[in-house]
Structure 1
Amino acid sequence: MLCMPIKNANGAIQGVSLLVNKIDGSAFNKNDEDMFEAFAIFCGMGIHNTKMYEKVCRAVAKQRVALETLSYHATAPSEEAQRIKKLPVPTSNELGLLKFSFSELRMTEDETLLAAMRMFLDLDLLNKFRINYETMCRWLLSVRKNYRNVTYHNWRHAFTVAQTMFAIIKSGGMKNVLTDIEVMCLMVACLSHDLDHRGTNNNFQVMIESPLAQLYSTSTMEHHHFDQCIMILNSKGNEIFMNLNPEEYTNAIRLLEHAILATDLAVYFKSRGEFFHIVEEQKCEWNEDDQRELLRGMLMTACDISAISKPWDVQKEIAKLVFGEFFEQGDLERQQLNKVPDDMMNREKRDLLPKMQVGFVDAICLPCYESLTKVNDKMKPLLDMCQSNRNNWQHLATISTQQMEEKESIKGSAEEKDIDESETSLSTGKSQGAPPRKK
């Protein structure tokens, strides 16, 4: 008899293999032992791989069930899509969608959905990509449903970003530069670019070591937004890309991913130098893929920050929402991380809001809009309104600084007065606790 243990990759015994009686009747020798040991190792590897395969199959099955469940709860019901389908869609002129000054602040939820539908209709995307009208309704509803009720990065922000892209294409001179598939993907990306936003930024996800931060080391939330976008597009009843051929579909997914990741300001800072150089040197060759990619990324940033290009009364109202969400993150940093948040996230530094807005405009917004105006001067309204709002914020920053200086001056004067009174009291013997002077 010849016995050998069968071990797994960790060296633990999984079983035993046994040989009984050689055919020629001779005894087992060292050579037989070595060969049988090799066979036992092979058996161990086979058993281990089989078990691993079974685990993988179970995991895949669980994942499919989870995705099916998630998809069911994440997508809008068909009844709701049928309701929206029956509603009349106002024209772009009635809604004011062609204007860069457009605001959704006074619109109802249904009105934003119908306005989104109008943009896709006016761009003729349903016809060009053979999209069923009810499918489009359901996709829009599902996208809205997958935005959380956070203070700023919600469905209304996404809708505003899409409207700015629509205005850039229709009124900003980009219609003849972008292809149909690029227009389609940019519009889808704008509506999807902040899906399932939690009201906190990438840095916060890293600090709390969230599962999302463990999945993605860069552009954490943007990768998640893209994943959510693909999940909805692949959900039953929401397949607005279903009639694309394989090559078109692959290209569309690539364009979508790039567009959504481009909304990460870290990506913007990495790519904008090259774009600025191309525009400044008048070396724009939009038939080259690399330059087209830079242009699409810059357009996504311009739309994402477009709140700064709205009329002043709208800009002030949106700024309150933006900083409200920032302060909420700062509160979480204090509570969960016992950390003093950065000024932008610190509600105790709210007096610095105008000054921070000026810094944001100077560092990010103005350079972006200046470069796009050089690409096509029809986008100049974005730059003009941004500059106007920058001046308004600077005026408020100046007033705030003066008020803070006055407070400090008053505080300093009060302290000096207290010191002088104390010194006077001491010199006359009338300070608190001083002994009475003898006659």
Structure 2
Amino acid sequence: MTHCLNLGAADYLVKPIGSEVVKTLWLNVLRRLRKDERLQTFSRDATLAEMIVNYYTPPFRRVDPLDFPRLDEIAAQERRVHLRAKLLSWSFSPHALSEDDLLRCVEIVFMDVLSLDDLEMIHVSQDLMHHFILAIRSSYHATNPYHDFYHAADVLQATYYTCCCMGLLPDRTTDYQQFESTAESLGDAQSSRYALRRILRPKDVFALMIASLGHDVGHPGVNNYYMINARTPLAELYNDQSVLENYHATSLFLLMRKHGLHFHDNDQSSVFKEFRSTVVNAILATDMSTHFDYVRRIHAQTERIRELSQPSSTVEVTDADRRLLIAAVIKCADICNASRPFAVAKVWCRELMREFAMQSALEKKMGMPVSMPVDDTPVAQAKSQIDFISALAMPLFAAVSQVIPQLQFTVDQLSANKSTWEDIR
């Protein structure tokens, strides 16, 4: 009897079925069902996470890969050449592209990454990739002036550009060498490439691209300060810690599961678990409340990069090395708009100030302290950008350019933009 119960039997009959036996059997079955329901609540198939995520993300809609913009073979090839040239330029401006071309840009990035060696464990058909890109686009709120699919594509391009500069996509050459300051540091850049390629493997690059495109999935158009002050369900769920970033990571993987977007054969495999960990850690790194801790750690990484850059070095690359370099890349990409050529940076500033104004209006309506600037004049925009560059962007890019010398030009561009903003103010 004990053996049968241990195997999962709800009950064990030791005599012919009578009224008392039936009653006992019924109670044991109910008890077993309740236990199963309790376990189900904490299982990966539970609906609680989906309910919470769906509260903030746009309504779920089916995605048809056939909706992806298509051209005939010759036209498609010509368009890819044209768009790839834009992707390899730091002047990239998603607002200057049609939505169809923006989708094509995302596809080109993933085509280039998936062409790398050692990615045979990742199975992505063209239909699956189109499905994924369309699903990601539909998960961003188009009504957000700043945190929308254009921002997602911008961050993806900045990550792609940086990886090309680092030599991680060896067949792609960016325009970074045209900048005088970077040209002067080419010696350092060449030696650092060896170390950077040792640290980031092709599968890390793929995970980084997924994180870059999906890092703000379902963004509600308000920041963590609002989420916490308003005591939103998400803030309480994540105990006020990296509220939106945790939500974005949860939403991204739920979205992939909901749409059947499986890039790996088995989501219980060590390969998938490593992929998931890389994506989640990258997204969490975009929380600005941890910004200065990352800047400090990136500064400290400079000497280690020098050690790893020596071909004769016996220093082993660690998971911590990979996580920190991935964080450095995505953090720069996330706020890269301040370091774009001024004409591009100005457009992003305008959209960001519009989103700030929307949050301020919501805070007033909710009777909360107003935390965002409501003045959208050129002078207010200039002051906002000067403060942002000085306090946040410049320290980060200066630290990262020591690890990735190819990005030295971004420090100079930040300085130039700051001077232009000061003239406006």
What band does the TM-score fall into relative to the shorter chain? 0.7 to 0.9
Letter in 2 for 1:314: V
1:266 paired residue number: 289
2:186 paired residue number: none
Greater relative contact order, per chain length (Cα 8 Å cut-off, separation 6+) = 2
Is residue 249 of structure 1 aligned with residue 308 of structure 2?
A: no
Contact conserved, 1:261 with 1:267, CA < 8 A, in 2? Answer: no
User: What secondary structure is seen at the aligned counterpart in 2 of 1:228?
Assistant: helix
Is residue 183 of structure 1 aligned with residue 202 of structure 2?
A: no
2:230 paired residue number: 208
* Alignment of structure 1 residues 329-368 onto 2, 5 Å: 329-339=359-369, 341-342=370-371, 344-347=372-375, 351-368=379-396
Distance 2:297 2:408 in 1: 21
Distance 1:257 1:116 in 2: 20
Distance 2:81 2:271 in 1: 29
1:34 paired residue number: none
User: What secondary structure is seen at the aligned counterpart in 2 of 1:275?
Assistant: helix
Q: Deviations over 1:371-401 (max 9, x none)?
A: 222223222232222221111112222xxxx
Contact conserved, 2:339 with 2:417, CA < 8 A, in 1? Answer: yes
2:38 aligned residue (44, 52, 56): 56
Contact conserved, 1:151 with 1:321, CA < 8 A, in 2? Answer: yes
1:395 paired residue number: 423
1:238 aligned residue (258, 261, 268): 261
1:295, distance to aligned residue in structure 2 (A): 1.4
Distance 1:249 1:59 in 2: 23
1:207, distance to aligned residue in structure 2 (A): 0.9
Distance 1:161 1:141 in 2: 17
1:236, distance to aligned residue in structure 2 (A): 3.9
User: What secondary structure is seen at the aligned counterpart in 2 of 1:123?
Assistant: helix
Q: Deviations over 1:221-255 (max 9, x none)?
A: 11110011101221344223347881110100000
| Change in 2 beyond 3 A, CA 1:259/1:321 | same
1:110 aligned residue (97, 100, 103): 100
User: What secondary structure is seen at the aligned counterpart in 2 of 1:131?
Assistant: coil
User: What secondary structure is seen at the aligned counterpart in 2 of 1:395?
Assistant: helix
Contact conserved, 1:139 with 1:239, CA < 8 A, in 2? Answer: no
Structure 2 unaligned blocks of 5 or more: 1-26, 170-196, 309-315
Structure 1 unaligned blocks of 5 or more: 1-44, 398-439
1:54, distance to aligned residue in structure 2 (A): 6.5
Distance 1:84 1:290 in 2: 38
Contact conserved, 2:204 with 2:278, CA < 8 A, in 1? Answer: yes
| Change in 2 beyond 3 A, CA 1:379/1:75 | farther
Distance 1:214 1:233 in 2: 25
Contact conserved, 1:144 with 1:155, CA < 8 A, in 2? Answer: yes
Contact conserved, 1:76 with 1:141, CA < 8 A, in 2? Answer: no
Is residue 74 of structure 1 aligned with residue 64 of structure 2?
A: no
Distance 2:287 2:323 in 1: 15
Contact conserved, 1:226 with 1:257, CA < 8 A, in 2? Answer: yes
Contact conserved, 1:101 with 1:309, CA < 8 A, in 2? Answer: no
1:86, distance to aligned residue in structure 2 (A): 4.0
1:171 paired residue number: 165
Is residue 323 of structure 1 aligned with residue 353 of structure 2?
A: yes
1:145 aligned residue (114, 120, 138): 138
1:306 paired residue number: 336
Letter in 2 for 1:166: Y
2:152 aligned residue (158, 171, 196): 158
Q: Deviations over 1:124-158 (max 9, x none)?
A: 35874221110010000000000012111000000
Distance 1:265 1:336 in 2: 24
Return 148-157 or 278-287, whichever deviates more: 278-287
Distance 2:378 2:83 in 1: 38
1:288, distance to aligned residue in structure 2 (A): 2.4
Q: Deviations over 1:292-329 (max 9, x none)?
A: 21111111110000111212111111101001101111
Contact conserved, 1:147 with 1:195, CA < 8 A, in 2? Answer: yes
* Alignment of structure 1 residues 18-57 onto 2, 5 Å: 52-53=34-35, 56=38
Distance 2:320 2:408 in 1: 24
Is residue 370 of structure 1 aligned with residue 398 of structure 2?
A: yes
1:60, distance to aligned residue in structure 2 (A): 7.6
Letter in 2 for 1:360: F
Letter in 1 for 2:395: P
Letter in 2 for 1:205: M
| Change in 2 beyond 3 A, CA 1:154/1:223 | same
Distance 1:319 1:66 in 2: 34
Q: Rg bigger for which structure?
A: 1
| Change in 2 beyond 3 A, CA 1:163/1:243 | farther
RMSD over aligned CA atoms reads: 3.3
User: What secondary structure is seen at the aligned counterpart in 1 of 2:89?
Assistant: coil
1:57, distance to aligned residue in structure 2 (A): 6.9
1:431 paired residue number: none
Letter in 2 for 1:157: H
1:123, distance to aligned residue in structure 2 (A): 2.0
Q: Deviations over 1:394-417 (max 9, x none)?
A: 2222xxxxxxxxxxxxxxxxxxxx
1:66, distance to aligned residue in structure 2 (A): 9.2
1:338, distance to aligned residue in structure 2 (A): 4.2
| Change in 2 beyond 3 A, CA 1:64/1:277 | closer
User: What secondary structure is seen at the aligned counterpart in 1 of 2:226?
Assistant: helix
1:48, distance to aligned residue in structure 2 (A): 10
Q: Structure 2-normalised TM-score?
A: 0.74
Q: Deviations over 1:5-58 (max 9, x none)?
A: xxxxxxxxxxxxxxxxxxxxxxxxxxxxxxxxxxxxxxxx99996685365378
1:84 aligned residue (62, 68, 71): 68
| Change in 2 beyond 3 A, CA 1:322/1:236 | closer
1:100 aligned residue (76, 82, 90): 90
2:214 aligned residue (172, 192, 195): 192
User: What secondary structure is seen at the aligned counterpart in 2 of 1:345?
Assistant: coil
Letter in 2 for 1:381: F
